[in-house]
A and B are shown apart, each in its own frame.
Chain A
Amino acid sequence: MEESMRENVASLLPVVTEYEAPFWNGLQDGKLMVQECKSCGHKQFPPSPVCTECLSEKVEWVEASGKASLWSKVEFNKAYLKPYPDVPYAVAVARLEEGPLVEGRFSAENYKKVPIDAELKVTFVDTQDGTKIVEFVPVND
């Protein structure tokens, strides 16, 4: 597809609310942010205005360690989204060291060769319009 005809990846961003903004800002700065409850220590993602365990409002954003493991993976052979017309592309479902499951890109090569439960690390890639997204890669790459 002609680059000029592509819809921007940024069109997939949600309307950002006050409590979610630190995640999206962090992503564009190349940081994967999760929430930590200062009352009970629970770490969570996706975010909530309160701790999902104890309902405390003392939830703060912290940068994830970037260590993860591969929970599952899929490869899209049908183009569902206008900014992503080129298939196949793969998505990893990764378990962060902090606990939550997070989805991110996975290269076609890694999709084929990296087994479930393998150790991963977080990286960030620039998409065609400059919007950063998460990519998971094997820890030794």
Chain B
Amino acid sequence: MATNSLPREEMPGPPLLEDFDDESQARALVEDYLDHLAANLIGRVASEDRARLKDEAAFHLERLTAHYASQGRPQRAAAEMAIQQYGDPSQIADQITLSLYEGGRASRLFKFFGRANVTAFAIVGFAQFVYVLLLQLRVFAPSGAAYDLPLDPGDMRVLLPWPLPLPQHPLDFFVLYVYPILAPFLIGWLAGRWIPVRPARAVTGAMLVAIIYSFVVGVSVLPQTAGLLLAIFQLAFWLPISAAMAEASLAMNLRRKLRRSYGERHVA
């Protein structure tokens, strides 16, 4: 009888693991584990390094399985114990990525603080510096004296056509609205591209330092209310947005690398 004439409920489904012998089940479990390990490394580690890691893990798991099997356990149970002893694949993949990212003869700064933290602090620190500078310009030059531009509004409109907001809106518009709203997105996007593991955590740490900096510097060089509001705004908006954007940027970056890696290997 042709398969496609069977009713749906009688269609043969995919074979279950239990349909195979003990040794095949053990092999299938180990292969599945290795696939999970490699999958967590795609886009974060070069394909040659990924193949090496997989081969090393395969050998190690084979030896561990043999060790537990020599204690009288069935092959499948031995493989399960070996996998458990080896560790969680996503955690190991994170650690491997970190060790390749952080390892080597790094500078003292990287060694002490960690490369991810230094990178996040550099990104956040620069955005913070620009923001505090803009705020000081706004507060201490309210008449706009610091913003004198070489062109009159008519000439500027020729260079910057509608719907760009200049020159109708003064630069205060950028200081108060555009920059502080866009900055956390930019911070998160850069962090996700430059930090391969848990960028949200690195960005959160750097942002907490920046918030304290904002509060202290804000109340000392800005009007007190402005300094406090700046710190609160960064806590309530910059911190969650930059952390979320960092993880989203990392995911998009990995996906892009995966597509590019697949495309390079399968070009006709």
Q: Do A and B come from one complex?
A: no
